[in-house]
């Protein structure tokens, strides 16, 4: 029993010595590869170098290389920057750059936003949208073509003529509809929203107050015309006077003679009354 325990103890001791030797050799290799490796790094780095920045990151952080001039510096971030996508591996979490035409991406094969001049469709960035789709220059995506949609026609309006529903036999009636969906750039245009047709009704006399605005105006004009006719004197049958200057002079002489005769008659009457 004691021999078994002693043998187990030596086996465990040999195993621990082996692990220690492996860690020592790994540290030596790291020092040979990175002579300036430091364990006391800042900014989320697990190991770092004065020249290359972060060499490895703390758990859950992403490692990404940032270019500064001709030099690349390792940085550890909580999430990948725009234009990169993150991938988690057992030993490292790494940020990888998206494709050249992709601004943001989910992985190397699925873009979520394209760069200027490209349109997004099913995770791809395209120069032109496929057939049956059109480019939306606001969202920079390929979207379905939207055609115009209109509602059903309304019932026909009452038959009218010049705003009245009475005093005529033939008029017009109208119906309308509304636009439910306006079309996109390549969609079918909207149809007319109103329609008018001729109609025939049985003539009926307008009651008082049914003449409408135009009827009242016509009645007022008619009354004004009649009043203006009454104000003008009736010269029918009278010939316009076209007397010459000689005729007017003779007429004046005759009137003077008449006045003289009338004066003489008045004097003779007054003398006879005195006697």
State the Cα–Cα distance between residues 134 and 30, nearest whole angstrom.
56
Residue 82 lies in a domain: yes
Residue 26 lies in a domain: no
Residue 163 lies in a domain: yes
The pLDDT value recorded for residue 215 is: 59
Residues 220-260 have pLDDT tens digits of: 777 777 666 655 555 444 444 566 777 777 888 788 888 87
Please give the average per-residue pLDDT across 72-77, as a whole number.
Answer: 90
Residues 8-59 have pLDDT tens digits of: 544 554 544 555 554 444 444 444 444 455 556 777 888 888 888 899 899 8
Name residues whose C-beta falls within 8 Å of residue 205's C-beta, 6 or more positions apart in sequence: 166, 167
Please give the average per-residue pLDDT across 208-223, as a whole number.
Answer: 64
Question: Which of 60-69, 117-126, 168-177 shows the lowest mean pLDDT across its residues?
Answer: 60-69
Residue 70 lies in a domain: yes
Of 75, 97, 119, which residue constitutes the final position of a domain? 97
Whole-prediction pTM: 0.47
The pLDDT value recorded for residue 126 is: 94
Boundaries of domain holding 160: 152-181+189-200
The pLDDT value recorded for residue 150 is: 95
CATH number at residue 57: 2.10.220.10
Q: Which is higher by pLDDT, 161 or 16?
A: 161
Name residues whose C-beta falls within 8 Å of residue 161's C-beta, 6 or more positions apart in sequence: 167, 168, 170, 171, 172
Is it the case that residue 273 has pLDDT exceeding 80? no
DSSP string, the chain: -HHHHHHHHHHHHHHHHHHHHHHHHHHHHHHHH-TT-BSS--TTEEEEETTTEEEEE-TTPEEEEEEETTEEEEEEESSPPTTEEEEE-SS-EEEEEPPTTEEEEEETTEEEEEPTT-EEETTEEESSPPTTEEEETTTTEEEE----EE-PPPPPPPPBBTTBSSS-SEEEEEEE--EEE---TTSPPPPPSEEEEEEE----PPPTT-SHHHHHHHHHHHHHHHHHHHHS---TTPPPP---HHHHHHHHHHHHHHHHHHHHHHHHHHHHHH-
Name the β-bridge partners of 170.
Answer: 200
Of 80, 97, 114, which residue constitutes the final position of a domain? 97
Total domains, the chain: 2
**Mean pLDDT over all residues of the chain?**
78
Residue 19 lies in a domain: no
Name the β-bridge partners of 142.
Answer: 135
The pLDDT value recorded for residue 175 is: 96
Residue 93 lies in a domain: yes
CB 148 within 8 A of CB 187: yes
Residue 59 lies in a domain: yes
Residue 69 lies in a domain: yes
């Amino acid at each position: 029993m004691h021999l078994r325990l002693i043998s187990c103890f030596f086996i465990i001791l040999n195993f621990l010595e082996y692990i220690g030797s492996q860690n020592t050799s790994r540290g030596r290799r790291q020092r040979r590869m990175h002579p300036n490796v430091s364990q006391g790094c800042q900014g989320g780095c697990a190991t770092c170098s004065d020249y290359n920045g972060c060499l490895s990151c703390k758990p859950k952080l992403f490692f990404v290389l940032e270019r500064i001039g001709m030099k690349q510096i390792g940085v550890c971030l909580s999430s990948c920057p725009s234009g990169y996508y993150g991938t988690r591996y057992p030993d490292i979490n790494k940020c990888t750059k998206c494709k050249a035409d992709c601004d943001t991406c989910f992985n190397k094969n699925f873009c979520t936003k394209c760069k200027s001049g490209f349109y997004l469709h099913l995770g791809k960035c395209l120069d032109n949208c496929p057939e049956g789709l059109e480019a939306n220059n606001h969202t920079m995506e390929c979207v379905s073509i939207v055609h115009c949609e209109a509602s059903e026609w309304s019932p026909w309006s009452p038959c009218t003529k010049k705003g009245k529903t009475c005093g005529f036999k033939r008029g017009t009636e109208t119906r309308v509809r509304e636009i439910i969906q306006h079309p996109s750039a390549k969609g079918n245009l909207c149809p007319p929203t109103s329609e008018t047709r001729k109609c025939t009704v049985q003539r009926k006399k307008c009651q008082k107050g049914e003449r409408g605005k135009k009827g009242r105006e016509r009645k007022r004009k008619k009354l004004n015309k009649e009043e203006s006719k009454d104000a003008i004197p009736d010269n029918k049958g009278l010939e316009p006077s076209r007397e010459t200057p000689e005729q007017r002079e003779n007429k004046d002489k005759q009137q003077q003679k008449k006045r003289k005769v009338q004066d003489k008659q008045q004097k003779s009457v007054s003398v006879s009354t005195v006697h």
